[in-house]
Structure 1
């Protein structure tokens, strides 16, 4: 007596099978297995687990690629000699020619490049006074330039924190000065934001000169001017208070050069 074929729920192990069913043309047969039976669909939960594993692997791979990706330097390059890159055309026209090429310093690491430059300038017709032994007295007006290119981390939070600390120091100085005689107040100390220069820029003024601080993506730049001093009175000889527009002009030119 021929029994009815065993019924198997559709979609669980495939359709109901009949004894002696022929091998379909698209069934997979390996050499050591001989003729194989009809292929059976994998249970749904296996596909779900496989999909979850693949999705997890893709997510993990994307996370690794994101975390290990190098930041965009925005076109900035390392500087081998910042004194050569900083032409300072506007400042030299106002103050005087460079004494020499300047003193450059550089530190290169995998995570950042840090360079600086110190340049003295000689005002036209100016000569340093000397003592009886011929030793120079006093000083020359100078410009200091700094440039740090961060190649691994975002310098933004550190830069903003530094500017916030300076702002707090300026406010504290103002509060302290309010309690003393007006003649002793140094009203040249100030911190002001500069628009249109890099991502974030500030000018800091004090009795010693002007400092321009700039954040532009992964680059942090600074430029400061200092006056020359009278050897006898200790008073500044060169008025640098109006040099801010010149410093901004020279800083903009330096940033463009460091991207070339």
Structure 2
């Protein structure tokens, strides 16, 4: 049976309202009121404030990343094989050819990389004395190379402190260089700064030879020579006192190679 049509109040035509479609009380206006306008936009200063907060957060995040990234290594890399990196062309020409590639050692850690190399050099025409069984006596002139790359901390204060301590030891104990061969009492006889090499460089001379110590940014390097010795007298057979220019030349080449 068809029921009677549902009465619709006067002024309302169309489909019946469904739940959820009924306008909210805030959106309804009386017949004698103006229609409700759009909701007011946020003030410009509030938008600017929000942008500043976001920018500050981004800057802070970038600063955190920078502070945790570690120091700038200045292009220095870990030494793969220091005996290969250290070509030592100047020292080889002055002392003698390398006996072999040398003995290399390397240790890698999160905070620093350490590498070293020991190389013997044979002067032209030089043969070590042997015993009755044919075993060589004594040792050939040698070159030692050291390289430490600091990846977390600044090695500058420690390096400067070490050099200052050596200098103070020489100055405090030196009485008369003409009569005292070892004024420091620990083998150190001279310490001199070298300009134009790395960030800070010193030459240290002692009874065993010459050592060149260099600080360059996060890298600390050393290059030293030692003489061979006469088995009978204990005196050095090869004079290494004039090798300072060769040490500097080979160190300069090594610094450049470790950045390549």
TM range (shorter): 0.7 to 0.9
CA contact (8 A) 2:70 2:151 kept: yes
TM-score scaled to structure 1, two decimals?
0.77
Between 52-61 and 72-81, the greater mean CA deviation after superposition: 52-61
Q: 1:38 to 1:137 in 2, by over 3 A?
A: closer
Matches within 5 A, 1:90-169: 90-169=90-169
Measured after TM superposition, the shift of residue 59 of structure 1 is 5.7
Q: Kindly tell me: are residues 38 and 86 of structure 1, through their superposed partners in 2, closer, same or farther at Cα, counting changes over 3 Å? A: closer
Distance 2:36 2:198 in 1: 72
| Structure 1 segments unaligned to the other structure (5+ residues) | 1-18, 28-36
Specify every segment of 5 or more residues in structure 2 that has no aligned partner in the other structure, as ranges. Answer: 1-31
Describe the SS at the equivalent of 1:138. coil
State the TM-score, normalizing by the size of structure 2. 0.77
Q: Distance in 1 between matches of 2:33 and 2:69?
A: 59
Hey, what's the Cα distance between the residues in 1 that align with 2:56 and 2:201? 43
CA contact (8 A) 2:181 2:189 kept: no
Cα distance change on mapping 1:40 and 1:23 into 2, 3 Å: farther
What is the CA deviation profile of residues 165-214 of structure 1, one whole-angstrom value per residue up to 9, with x for unaligned ones? 1111222331xx44xx9534337811111111111111111111110011
Mark the structure with the bigger radius of gyration.
Answer: 2
Corresponding position of 1:218: 218
2:20 alignment counterpart = none
Q: Does 1:67 align with 2:63?
A: no
Query: How much is the aligned-residue C-alpha RMSD, in angstroms?
Result: 2.7
Of 179, 185, 190, the residue aligned with 2:181 is: 185
TM-superposed deviation, 1:38: 4.0
